[in-house]
Amino acid sequence: MITINENFLNLQNNYLFSTIAKKVDDFKLKNPEKKIIKLGIGDVTRPIAPVVLEAMHKAIDEQGNLETFRGYGPEQGYEFLREKIAEFDYARRGVKISPDEIFVSDGAKCDCGNIGDILGTDNVVAITDPVYPVYLDTNVMSGRSGNYNNKTGKYEKIIYIPVTAENNFIPEFPKEIPDMIYLCFPNNPTGTTLSKEELKKWVDYARKNKILILFDSAYEIFISEENVPHTIYEIDGAKEVAIEFRSFSKTAGFTGLRCAYTVIPKELKVYTKQGKEVNLISLWDRRQGTKFNGVSYPVQRGAEAIYSEEGQKQIKENILYYMNNAKIIKEGLQEAGYTVYGGKNAPYIWLKIPSGLTSWEFFDKLLNEVNVVGTPGVGFGPSGEGYFRLTAFGTKENTIEAIERIKNMK
């Protein structure tokens, strides 16, 4: 008899974004004349930069020519792209990462999830709370979570580390020492960051306790302030304990094209149950070689193009556009008396909900009264209750209008 991976039955099926979509659809059905503005989206809206398009068109043409046609590429990514990443994203920041420590993939989401394949299912997992849901759900799927407790809204074996206004969004060491921890900075959903000093504390803690840090810096390009690390490897010793996930999705609008990468330094050691050291990179290389056949050639050429001078200029124009929206949201909400966080080094604004409403009640209020859609904080974890996420990925015009409407809300 065929059986299933029963861990999947342990997933909470009220997936945040489908619940939101359903509420919005119901509202539209009842109010077809109302113009809804969506500031809940985590997807980019600006078109792909011309240099990327040009590089991709050229690469497509090469595929139609006998001399330049390419079939399967290297599973780890083409050398031309890995070299550019090593040079621009690391060497220029004073960090030595070699191209063969970089694994190009079709998404940071897949990498964050797939990495669990090579890690023991007995590992104790820590996540910050609120959190990007993929870290949690993929650990539920692989059986690391224990059962879900309806009362607390938490899985029994997962360590939740609150990041809220009370601790200035700086995660504190939990009572129980985990084996692996996900850190995402700049953070989705709170839009906040860690200073180098704060991140160093986590690197030191991980080294002392033989913990793996899974560092997601998908929003690195949005960093505008000094003293915010662009990569965890700016911190001494991080190569021994940290994997880094990066993505071209938000950096260059690749959410539809799909390209990302994961860095696993050669120094990074993990252990068998008997305590024997193993290099994590060799396991990931083996995993990718078996289960993954690489990102398409034209997409990798497109990603390569962002590292040209013109490419950098073009992608940064889009980032500035989004960050201008972030400013409009942040300042507008502050004028209206809201307490807001984030929005400086990330395209997310995390606002404190006034007047004792729950985050779903506030969602309904915004949708029904001013027809603006955001994301309830509790959807990202129990400590997100009382907060609400707005994103800077809309158009400027819609962003201005949405904030005006919120300002005028009773």
3-state secondary structure of 381: coil
Residue 288 binds ligand PLP (CB under 6 A): no
Residue 318 binds ligand PLP (CB under 6 A): no
CA 125, chain centre distance (Å): 18
CB of 186: closest distance to ligand PLP in angstroms?
9
CB of 107: closest distance to ligand PLP in angstroms?
3
Compose the 189-218 pattern: x for residues touching ligand PLP by CB under 6 A, - for all others.
---------------------------x-x
Name the helix (H) or strand (E) containing 16: helix 16-30
Question: Shortest CA distance to 250 belongs to which of 127, 137, 348?
Answer: 348
CB of 248: closest distance to ligand PLP in angstroms?
7
Question: Shortest CA distance to 93 belongs to which of 212, 198, 238, 279?
Answer: 238
Comparison of 350 and 370: residue with beta carbon closer to ligand PLP: 350
How would you label 365-389 residue by residue, b for 16+ Cβ within 10 Å and e otherwise? bbbeebbbbbbbbbbbbebbbbbbb
Alpha-carbon distance of 7 to 10, in angstroms, equals 5
Comparison of 164 and 187: residue with beta carbon closer to ligand PLP: 187
In this chain, which of 52, 199, 260, 326 binds ligand PLP, going by CB under 6 A?
Answer: 260
Within a 10 A sphere around the Cβ of 54, how many other Cβ atoms?
15
Q: Which stretch binds ligand PLP (CB under 6 A): 46-54, 71-79, 102-110, 282-290?
A: 102-110
Residue 109 binds ligand PLP (CB under 6 A): yes
In this chain, which of 19, 41, 42, 88 binds ligand PLP, going by CB under 6 A?
Answer: 42
Question: If you count them, how many residues does the chain have?
Answer: 410
In this chain, which of 114, 123, 164, 249 binds ligand PLP, going by CB under 6 A?
Answer: 249
Can you give the three-state secondary structure of 50-82, one letter per residue? HHHHHHHHHHHHHHCCCCCCCCCCCCCCCHHHH
CB of 259: closest distance to ligand PLP in angstroms?
8
3-state secondary structure of 220: helix
CB of 216: closest distance to ligand PLP in angstroms?
5
Comparison of 84 and 332: residue with beta carbon closer to ligand PLP: 84
Provide the terminal-to-terminal Cα distance of the chain, rounded to the nearest Å.
Answer: 59
- The answer to whether residues 372 and 302 touch, using CB atoms and an 8 Å cutoff, is no
Q: Which stretch binds ligand PLP (CB under 6 A): 56-64, 107-115, 353-361, 390-398?
A: 107-115
Chain residues that interact with ligand PLP, rule: CB under 6 A: 42, 107-109, 132, 184, 188, 216, 218, 247, 249, 255, 260
